Structure 1
Amino acid sequence: MYTSAPFFAVLFASSLLLAGINRLLGNRLSYLSLFSTFALFAVWEYIFKNQILIPILMFGYLYGIATCKDKSWIKTWQSVILSLLPLILVKLHLNNHWGMIGLSFMTFRAVDVLLYRNKKDSRSFLQYFSYLFSPFIMLAGPMYRWRTWVQDITQTSFRLTTDVFLQSMEQIFYGIVQKFLFAMLIDNLVISHWSHRPFTLTVGVVMSLAYSFYLYFDFAGYSNMAIGAGRLFGLNIPANFNLPILAKNPQDFWRRFHISLSEWLRDVVFMPVYMNLMKITFFRNHKATAQNVGIFCTLFCMGAWNGLELNYVVSGALFGGISVIHNMILWLAKRSPVITIWLNKPVMMWVGRILTLASAAVSLYIFSGMSPV
């Protein structure tokens, strides 16, 4: 979608047209009516085109589950499992007929509704549709949470000011430069040449660094375009990257890299796992162990939700393992002043930064599927 020049033309023209119509109507257009109009057009015209049967069936399926959960016909955990079922079957290649563009993040948004929709929130069919099929974040996020969506969409009126329009264009242009200049240069000049060479240590180092930078610029560029596009329609889509190259440790890295999904997995995976483990006597007496189990499960999901292919499983295990090691070092430091003093030395802090980025680069290279693993 973001590779199509006509899409950007339609995007800017639609925002200006709807803003003009809204002004003629005395700013009485609601966010929901405004955005749903664009969502309907963008989703079916630019994303699905003639392949609309599966998206319609998936929407009906997920909306039916949400309705059953609201009416207390099924429990929350049952509704979550049922919502995840099509995605799991597709990832396991057990039912590819349910595969569709944007299935993963649409499913995650459906789960977010099940877990975080308040009873006072509207049960509007149109609101649920627009949230699940939000065109700007349909393909790869960022993870736009239900609570933020409700705050954005229920504002009394929409006004597209000159400042907002210019800020949106600036962020979209920034994303275009990241994705179509930096990412493409890295891909064309490095990855395309080195990816076919027999694996050696040098190839591994070059590819780890190149793919990490490529993934950052490609995904950060996409995210910035999505955020800028959302602003044109009054949506506060969250930031997804914050200079991960400055990360001090693995925990800090995931606060900077794919931020929205990291935070969502923290709420949906880590907290339930940790809270349930704390009900067991052993884990109540060993809280660090409960934390490590929760951390590993969360970061493992960061890699493995893409599928159960070896590269995703191994990279997810590395994400989790590295973060558990870091958490254990912090646990030891709290109990040993000597280790705390040692870790706070400038040299060790720089070593920590280098090891964090090196381990992240290796994990992402494995994640890419281009490594020998």
Structure 2
Amino acid sequence: MQDFLPFSGLGFFIISFAFVLFLHLFKNILNKFITYKTLIFIVVVTYIYFCIPESYELFLLLLYVYIVYYIFVKNEYKETIFPMIVIAFPMILHKIDIANPMFKIIGISYITFRTIQAIVDSQNYGKLSFFEFTSFLLFPTTLLAGPIDRSYRFQEDLQKGYENLTFSNILKGWEILVVGVLFKFIFAELVYMFWLSKIDENSTALVDMINSAYSYTVYLFFDFAGYSAMAVGLSIMIGIFIPMNFNHPYLAPNPQDFWRRFHITLGSWLNDYFFKPLYKYLHNFSFLKGRKLLIQNLAITSTFLLMGMWNGLTWYFIFSGFLFGVYSSIHNSYVLYVKKGGFDYFSIFPQGLSINIKRFLMINGAVFALYFFSGRVPL
């Protein structure tokens, strides 16, 4: 069964390529008898039932979140905090590790975030049918580790039907898929075997800790970016244009740009559905009136704390998120300082050198934060 989990073994690739071949060979015939949306729904449900361990738990979660989704959308509920809490309840139980086994469901974090997004955006983009909702939440390529798609964008691809099944999209998807395979199964494995696994993570020697931090950062990029690229590439071949999740993040000169390049879809989700509402909400407090920078930095730090907790309620995830929040708040304060006429200390260097100094600071800051994220810090 493990061999058929998304991108976990040869079995998954065999059934995926067989489905892609079936779609493209028989699309003209299928188009006369079954809608693309219905076909994707049937394939998704069949895959979950036969290939995902304890699939009944996933279907129970689907039923729960759909009922909540339908109630809030049907009644045009405009507040976001309450539905977020209701939807996130199973995930919270999962994170604090006290729940019954029914809450130990693979992909629960991504399912939760997608459902919240679908509720919030239903006001502007309309609701999803049960078929669309199911396919969106349980789409196999993005089930375990994203990227986090948007419901209205996914719905558009379903409505386009078979027209996205073109030879050019096969080639486009194949190119991205191959890069993902190289990243995850070649580069990440080589980094792990010949670098990361050779380091004693319990060593308190400074050299070992630095080596561990950098090796994990390199490994994480190839592993996660590789998975994301495979998900995007295979989805395009099926006719679903999942958004890209990585764009040279270690070339970013500042925290804001870093999160526009690293796990892009999570950063975008947090910005739209947590940071912006929180920033607006904090303006309601009288003691924060007129303190725009403080409000921004409180919202920024809270957003990154949520990011840390989303990965797990352990100190190293939370502290890693806190560090990224501190980085972003410092950068935000510095940008405002320069805008108000403060001296830009990076301007004393030539432009090319200046941006590379910024990149050096950013990548080392990211390495430090991700070292804690790894849980390998010997504390």
The TM-score with structure 2 as length reference comes to 0.92
More moved, 208-217 vs 71-80: 71-80
Residues in 1 aligned to 2:31 and 2:148: alpha-carbon distance in whole angstroms: 33
- Pair 1:333–1:369, CA change in 2 (3 A): same
Q: CA-atom RMSD, angstroms?
A: 2.1
Q: Is the 8 A contact 1:136 1:226 kept in 2?
A: yes
**Structure 2 Cα separation of the partners of residues 129 and 178 of structure 1:** 30
Superposition pairs of residues 7-26 of structure 1, within 5 angstroms: 7-25=12-30
Equivalence for 1:286: 291
Unmatched 5+ stretches in structure 2: 1-5
Please give the alpha-carbon distance, in whole angstroms, between the structure 2 residues aligned to 1:159 and 1:272.
35
Find 1:161's aligned residue among 163, 166, 179.
Answer: 166
State which of 87, 92, 101 in structure 2 corresponds to 1:88: 92
Say if 1:165 and 1:359 are closer, same or farther in 2 by CA, change over 3 A.
Answer: same
Is 277-286 or 147-156 further displaced after alignment?
277-286
Corresponding residue of 1:302:
307
**Whole-angstrom CA distance in 1 between matches of 2:314 and 2:161:** 47
| Counterpart-to-counterpart distance in 1, 2:293 and 2:182 | 43
Counterpart CA distance in 2 for 1:11 and 1:218 is: 20
Alignment deviations for residues 73-93 of structure 1 (CA, whole Å, 9 cap, x no partner): 976432221100110111011
Paired with 1:88 and 1:194, the residues of 2 have a C-alpha distance of 34
Tell me the amino acid that sits aligned with residue 68 of structure 1: I
130 and 342 in structure 1: CA distance in 2 versus 1, 3 angstrom threshold: same
Structure 1 residue identity aligned to 2:98: L
Q: Is the 8 A contact 1:195 1:370 kept in 2?
A: no
The 3 A distance-change label for structure 1 pair 208 and 341 is closer
Deviations 1:254-304 (A, max 9, x none): 111000000000011110111112233443411111111111111222222
Query: Could you tell me which residue of structure 2 aligns to residue 332 of structure 1?
Result: 337
**Partner AA of 1:288 in structure 2:** L
2: CA distance between counterparts of 1:275 and 1:119?
Answer: 19
Q: Can you list the C-alpha shifts for 1:150-206, whole angstroms capped at 9, x where unaligned?
A: 211112543522221122122111111000111011111111111345122111211
Deviations 1:322-358 (A, max 9, x none): 1111111112112234336747754443322111100
Aligned to 1:209: 214
State how 1:199-238 maps to structure 2 within 5 Å. 199-238=204-243
Matched, 1:70 2:76: no
Q: CA deviation at 1:252?
A: 0.9
Segments ≥4 residues shifted beyond 4 Å: 25-29, 73-76
Partner of 1:367: 373
Offset at 1:29?
Answer: 4.7
Supply the distance in 2 between the matched residues of 1:69 and 1:154 (Cα, whole angstroms).
24
Q: 1:339 to 1:160 in 2, by over 3 A?
A: closer
Taking every aligned residue pair, what percent have the same amino acid on both sides?
33
Per the alignment, residue 83 of structure 2 pairs with 79
Q: Secondary structure at the match of 2:7?
A: coil
CA contact (8 A) 1:172 1:226 kept: yes
